[in-house]
Amino acid sequence: AKKSSEFKSKLLKELRRVLEDEGNVLKSGTENPYNVQYEGARGNFHDKTPKQIMCELRKIKIKTLKRGDVRGGPSNIGDFLPKRGLFENRKFNSCAIVASAGSLKDSNLGKTIDAHDLVLRFNHAPTKGFEEDVGAKTTVRVLNSQVITREEFKFLQSDIYKNLTVVAWDPSVYKATLEEWLEKPEFNLFPAYVEYKRKNDKARIFLINPQSLWELWDFLQGNSPGRLRRNPLSSGFLGLGLLLPLCNFVDIFEYVPSARVTKRCHYYDPEDNPACTFGVWHPLAAEKLLTYHINTADDHIVFQNGYVRIPGFKNFKC
């Protein structure tokens, strides 16, 4: 218990320091490539109960594009959109989100992860050869538009993107309309989306409405003590937003880092980069502080075992 509480206070201090530094950097004026102009209030999650936070978060619907949302569009994307939303009318009891952090290495969490009804992974994070630490089951992959478009990730060829549900996302400019984004995505993911669907008509692939990404960003800024980086949220937080309406509870593995944390960025890659965990581009520190606030697992689970537990929306009467 002492080990956990010492680690915890060091970790929270570090996350708060990073968040404060970000705010200070912003005061001196920085580039704003997404043209974020936040005009809402800036609160602090600490002044609210987890329930209040969950009830606010529940109002934000992370939407996926459906047939009829787009007429024509680039690569005729409108004709290839699904008729239904992501897991429309489906419910899951236990859901796992596997953040790809280096601290999953030697965690032995594979069996715990695989015991969940739904397992969500990110980008090209492999399971093969890492089963003991990260499990083997994958229900959903959340892919950013770089993974979809860049040759090195082999989106249309590799088996790691097959026989599962793909959720693709690409950030728009802050208040862009859907039409503006379709005309000018950050990475042009539409041709590969269409090709994936053409190859297999039954393939389950969804596109996030980019306006939802910024609604989630506004929610986080509205509940963070400091100013956030004016960049999209990390896909870890997006994954949580996607699953809370569907699951009885969501366990997120090595997102709020455990005592195993090192400088290593990913469990599948030896490269060191502490910014992957604490954030240099995404507003990760704010995401993680808020996530820890709404977590219901005890500190031993969080800081020794390595996961937080967030109850799904259905547990709250708002």
Q: State which residue, 100 or 138, has the beta carbon closest to ligand C5P.
A: 100
User: Whole-number minimum distance, CB 256 to ligand C5P, in Å?
Assistant: 8
Q: Among residues 81 and 310, whose Cβ is nearest to ligand C5P?
A: 310
Nearest approach, Cβ of residue 152 and ligand C5P (Å):
13
Here the tokens at position 317 are: 């009467």
Q: Which of 7, 122, 153, 206 is in the footprint of ligand C5P by CB under 6 A?
A: 122
Whether the Cβ atoms of residue 69 and residue 85 lie closer than 8 Å to each other: no
CA distance 272 to 270: 6
Q: Which of 86, 166, 208, 276 binds ligand C5P (CB under 6 A)?
A: 276
CB 148 within 8 A of CB 187: yes
Q: How far apart are CA 156 and CA 139, in angstroms?
A: 18
Bridge partners of 138, per DSSP, are: none
Q: Which is closer to ligand C5P, CB of 123 or CB of 231?
A: 123
- CB-based contact 128:268 (threshold 8 Å): no
Residue 83: DSSP 8-state = S
Task: Give CA separation, 155 vs 15, 121, 192, 270, in Å.
Answer: 34, 15, 8, 22
Residue 101 interacts with ligand C5P (CB under 6 A): yes or no = yes
Q: Using the rule CB under 6 A, is 145 a contact of ligand C5P?
A: no
Please select the residue that binds ligand C5P; options are 172, 224, 235, 291, rule is CB under 6 A.
235
- Of 86-94, 98-106, 149-157, 224-232, the window that binds ligand C5P (rule: CB under 6 A) is 98-106
User: Which CB atom, from 70 or from 101, has the smaller least distance to ligand C5P?
Assistant: 101
Please choose, out of 5-13, 96-104, 173-181, 187-195, the segment that lies near ligand C5P by the rule CB under 6 A: 96-104
CB 45 within 8 A of CB 224: yes
Two structure tokens written together for 24: 């200070």
- Residue 207 binding ligand C5P, by CB under 6 A: no
Q: What is the DSSP string of 135-154?
A: -S--SEEEEEHHHHH-GGG-
Our finding on whether 143 is near ligand C5P (CB under 6 A) is: no
Q: Does 312 bind ligand C5P (CB under 6 A)?
A: no
Is 95 a binder of ligand C5P (CB under 6 A)?
no
Q: Of 259, 235, 243, whose CA–CA distance to 312 is shortest?
A: 243
Size of the site for ligand C5P (CB under 6 A): 14
- Among residues 4, 112, 123, 248, the one that binds ligand C5P under rule CB under 6 A: 123
149 touches ligand C5P by CB under 6 A: no
Asked if 228 is part of the footprint of ligand C5P (rule: CB under 6 A), the reply reads no
Indicate the residue among 138 and 235 with the shorter CB distance to ligand C5P: 235
Do residues 22 and 28 lie in contact, with contact meaning Cβ atoms separated by under 8 Å? no
Give the integer Cα–Cα distance in Å for 277 and 256. Answer: 9
Contact status, residue 227 vs residue 71, Cβ threshold 8 Å: no
H or E element that contains 271: strand 269-272
Q: Which of 249, 255, 292, 303 binds ligand C5P (CB under 6 A)?
A: 255
* Whole-angstrom Cα Rg for the chain: 19
Answer for which of 210, 232, 236, 311 binds ligand C5P (CB under 6 A) is: 236
Residue from 102, 135, 171, 210 in contact with ligand C5P (CB under 6 A): 102
Chain residues that interact with ligand C5P, rule: CB under 6 A: 99-102, 122-123, 234-236, 255, 265-266, 276-277
